[in-house]
Chains A and B, each alone.
Chain A
Amino acid sequence: MSLVTGSTGGGTAVSKSRRADSAKLPAAGPPRRDRRRSLGRRNLHGWLFSTPFLVLFGVFMLFPIVATLWMSFTEFGVRNVRQPLSARFVGLDNYAKLFGDDTFRTALFNTAYFVIVGVPLTIALGLLVALLLNNGIDRARTFFRVGFYAPVVTSIVAVAVVWRFVLDPSDGLVAGLAAEAGTKAPDLLGSETWAMPSLILLAVWRNLGTVMVLFIAGLQAIPAEVREAARLDGAGGWQELRRITLPLLRPTMLYATVITTIGYLNVFEEPFVMTQGGPSDATLTVSLDMYRQGFNFFHMGYASAMAYVLFVVITGITALQLRLLKDNTR
Chain B
Amino acid sequence: MSAPTASAPTASTATGRRRAGMVRRPVLYTVASLGLLVMAAPFVWMALSAFKTKRDLTASPPVWIPSRWTLGSFHELFAQLDLPRYFVNSLVVAVLVTVCNLLFCSMLGYALAKLDFAGRSKVFGVVLAALMVPGNLLILPLYVLMSGLDLIDTYAGLVLPFAASAFGVFLMRQFMQSVPDELIEAARIDGAGEWYIFFRIVLPLVRPALATLTIFTFLGSWNNFVWPLIATNDPGKYTLPVALATFANDPNRTVVGGNGMLMAGSLLVVLPVLVVFAVLQRHFTQGIATAGLK
How far is it, in angstroms, between the C-alpha of A316 and the C-alpha of B231 when the chains are bound?
30
Contact B35 A129 (CB under 8 A): yes
Across-interface contacts of B199 in A (CB, < 8 A)? 2
Say yes or no for B99: interface residue by CB 8 A criterion. Answer: no
Say yes or no for A287: interface residue by CB 8 A criterion. Answer: yes
| Size class of the contact patch on chain A | 35 or more
Selected from A67, A154, A214, A287, the residue in CB contact (under 8 A) with B136 is: A287
How far is it, in angstroms, between the C-alpha of A52 and the C-alpha of B103 when the chains are bound?
9
Contact B270 A154 (CB under 8 A): yes
Say yes or no for B189: interface residue by CB 8 A criterion. Answer: yes
Q: A149-B284, A164-B248 are in contact. Are A42 and B274 (CB under 8 A)?
A: no
B279 CB, nearest partner CB in chain A, Å: 10
Contact A6 B118 (CB under 8 A): no
Q: A171-B259, A269-B226 are in contact. Are A300 and B140 (CB under 8 A)?
A: yes
Q: A81-B143, A147-B40, A307-B140 are in contact. Are A255 and B292 (CB under 8 A)?
A: yes
How far is it, in angstroms, between the C-alpha of A311 and the C-alpha of B185 when the chains are bound?
44
Contact B61 A176 (CB under 8 A): yes
Contact B278 A61 (CB under 8 A): no
Q: A61-B130, A273-B249 are in contact. Are A67 and B195 (CB under 8 A)?
A: no
Contact B285 A10 (CB under 8 A): no
The count of residues in chain B whose C-beta lies closer than 8 Å to any C-beta of chain A is 117
Contact A52 B107 (CB under 8 A): yes
How far is it, in angstroms, between the C-alpha of A65 and the C-alpha of B274 when the chains are bound?
35
Contact A6 B140 (CB under 8 A): no
Selected from A49, A163, A164, A205, the residue in CB contact (under 8 A) with B111 is: A49
How far is it, in angstroms, between the C-alpha of A146 and the C-alpha of B35 when the chains are bound?
13
How far is it, in angstroms, between the C-alpha of A318 and the C-alpha of B132 when the chains are bound?
10
How far is it, in angstroms, between the C-alpha of A213 and the C-alpha of B35 when the chains are bound?
16
Across-interface contacts of B41 in A (CB, < 8 A)? 166, 173
Selected from B166, B187, B288, the residue in CB contact (under 8 A) with A217 is: B288
B251 CB, nearest partner CB in chain A, Å: 10
Across-interface contacts of A308 in B (CB, < 8 A)? 137
For B83-116 the 0/1 string (1 means CB < 8 A from A) is 0000000000000000000011101101100011
How far is it, in angstroms, between the C-alpha of A3 and the C-alpha of B187 when the chains are bound?
14
Contact A266 B134 (CB under 8 A): yes
B196 and chain A: residue at smallest CB distance: A6
Contact B115 A46 (CB under 8 A): yes
